[in-house]
Structure 1
Amino acid sequence: MFNEILGLIFILFNFAMLLTMYKLFGKTGLFAWVAIASIIANIQVTKTIEVIGLTATLGNSLYASTFLATDILNEKYGKKQAQKAVWLGFSSLLVLVLTMQFGVKFIPGESDFAQGSLETLFGLVPQIAIASMIAYLTSQHLDVIIFSFIKKIFPSDRQFWIRNNGSAVLSQLLDTLIFTGIAFYGVYSLDIWFQIFISTYVLKVIISFMDTPFGYLAKRITPLDEKKESL
């Protein structure tokens, strides 16, 4: 039960930090969160864990939080701002991949102790990052499009949960299929891959449902920079 309890705390922590960033820095904070969470999630995803009896990858809650961030941007600032955040997240991943490939190529000094760990960690990054970037661009843009479409049908504040969850369920399915199909091709046996696919999607959907109350809280938040502008 340790992983399950810690995982729940971690999910709530991530969403709380996202709202804190939004409160302090407004939509700029959401842009920053998308970039930060995208980078960290793609490092954490190299670690597998056992949760609810399934093999899963770490980083699901951080990655799922980027969808909440773009949904908040879409809800409060419009579709173009959400799409801008998507491209920012993509650019952050690209920078991570390129800079770390340079980093591991440098010949380490005699006193160095990190080279082996960096090679182990970031040796998988190109395949994982390529998978993540393709999945990210595809699923995030789909999420923005579906969210905007559903908003036209269910536009009221009380119906935010329909927009949030409806877009997440569909976009996360595509995201998980693309990501696990590319990132872990040849890395795990088919049965382990299938477990990772199912558990990853289930966890992402659960996390998406859990983020809904935080979405409603975000709708009530007036960022500090917007308060100053209104004075």
Structure 2
Amino acid sequence: MFNLTWGILFVLVNFTLFTVSYRLFGKSGLYAWVAFATVIANIQVVKTIEVAGVITTLGNTIYASIYMATDLLNEKYGPQAARKAVWFGFFTLIASTIMMQMALVFTPQPGDLAQESLQTIFGMLPRLALASLAAYFISQLLDVRLFSYLRQRFPARSQLWIRMNGSTTLSQLVDSLVFCTIAFLGQYSFVVWLQILFTTYLFKFVISVASTPVLYIARRYHHPDDHQSTV
């Protein structure tokens, strides 16, 4: 029960910080958020928790906020700005992975207290690292393309929820499928693998739907670098 209550607060804080980042810094704040979220999500995912009887990993909430950022960029600044954010996050993820893998190679002095903890958090197996990079890259570019397509089919400002949830629902399914296939297929029985895939996607889906009002609020903010949406 505690994890569920704390988890709701956790989600609200994530959404609030996302909104504040855009409110204060505009488009630059969204790019910064994508860079921040890609790194934090891959740190949080190391920790597993149980929520309402379901075991899951942390990181789903802030990872979902990356989709929020690219969807908001697509909505207000167009698909080119959204794709730039995807590449920005992809570079940040690769750069942080390389730097931390190199940092782990240093021989710690006898009294060091950090090496073991850093090894647990950042010592990703090559298979997990590949799964994370592939899932992010494929699903985020797919989300940008789907959002742009749905924007043509459902262009009204009031139909943002269709554009957002339509693109995110499918792209996050692809994200979960790519990650779980590369990372876990063959490591567990097919039944267990299917359970991991289902719970991973379920939490992402719930969080994405819950984030819909946040994007409506964030879209109302205006900044000097804004150009108005054509819808």
- The TM-score range, normalised by the shorter chain, is over 0.9
Structure 1 residues 50 and 192: CA distance shift in structure 2, 3 A:
farther
Alignment match, 2:53:
53
Given that 2:27 and 2:225 are in contact with CA atoms closer than 8 Å, whether structure 1 keeps it comes out as: no
The residue aligned with 2:202 is: 202
Aligned pair 1:66/2:71, yes or no? Answer: no
- Greater CA deviation, 44-53 or 18-27? 44-53
Residue 116 of structure 1: CA displacement? 1.2
Deviation at 1:128, TM superposition (A): 2.6
Superposed displacement of residue 36, structure 1: 0.3
Amino acid at match of 1:128: L
Cα shift at 1:127: 3.1
In the alignment, structure 1 residue 141 sits paired with structure 2 residue 141 = yes
Structure 2 Cα separation of the partners of residues 190 and 52 of structure 1: 24
Shift of 1:196: 2.2
Helix, strand or coil at the partner of 2:108: coil
| Equivalent-residue separation in structure 1 for 2:149 and 2:109 (angstroms) | 55
- Paired with 1:220 and 1:22, the residues of 2 have a C-alpha distance of 11
CA contact (8 A) 1:83 1:144 kept: yes
The residue that corresponds to 1:180 in the other structure is 180
Q: Which residue of 2 aligns with 1:36?
A: 36
| CA 22–32 in structure 1, closer or farther in 2 if over 3 Å, else same | same
Partner residue in 2 for 1:77 = 77
The yes-or-no answer on 1:3 pairing with 2:3 is: yes
Q: 1:44 to 1:187 in 2, by over 3 A?
A: farther
Aligned to 2:167: 167
**How many aligned positions are there?**
226
**What is the TM-score when the length of structure 1 is the normalising length?**
0.92
Per-residue displacement from partner, 1:111-145 (whole Å, max 9, x unpaired)? Answer: 20111111122222643332111111111111111
- 1:14 equivalent in alignment to 2:14: yes
Q: 1:211: which partner in 2?
A: 211
Shift, 1:189, TM fit: 5.3
Structure 1 unmatched runs, 5+: none
**TM-score in terms of structure 2 length:** 0.92
Q: Distance in 2 between matches of 1:47 and 1:83?
A: 30
Identity of aligned residues (%): 51
The runs of 5 or more residues in structure 2 that have no matched partner are 227-231
Deviation for aligned residue 1:219:
1.1
